[in-house]
Amino acid sequence: VGEVAISDHRGSQPSMDALAKVVSEARVGGMLTKKAGVTHFHLGDGKNGLQPLFDLLDHTDLTIASMVPTHVERNQRLLEHGKEWVRRGGHVNFSSTPDNQVPAILEYQKEGLDLANVSISSDGYGSLNVF
């Protein structure tokens, strides 16, 4: 499933129960079809950062492998949350923006984080809006 917007004023502000249901359904669907069953989360500049995903990990039996947060290099708070996500064994995705991605990768590398858990995507320039 992807991308579900969290911590973003443009998103639908889903509850933890709604997020858990989406992730669970994707995971079970993946198991039944022998596919990844991953939910991708679009992260905005909102104050909660990855906290909704940490809450899912801490309060449900969902696995970190079932969730991939994207746009983690967007701001320093997200970058820090992303580091914790990777430390817990999760994968994060950076958008392919040279201004942010290179310093972010170097920061993760400097801290000894497993860069195999970091992917970079173009996001297809799906939105060039300024808010």
Catalytic residues: 123
- Angle at which helices 76-87 and 51-59 pack, to 10 degrees? 30
Cβ proximity of 3 and 40 under 8 Å: yes
User: How far out from the chain centre does Cα 103 lie?
Assistant: 18
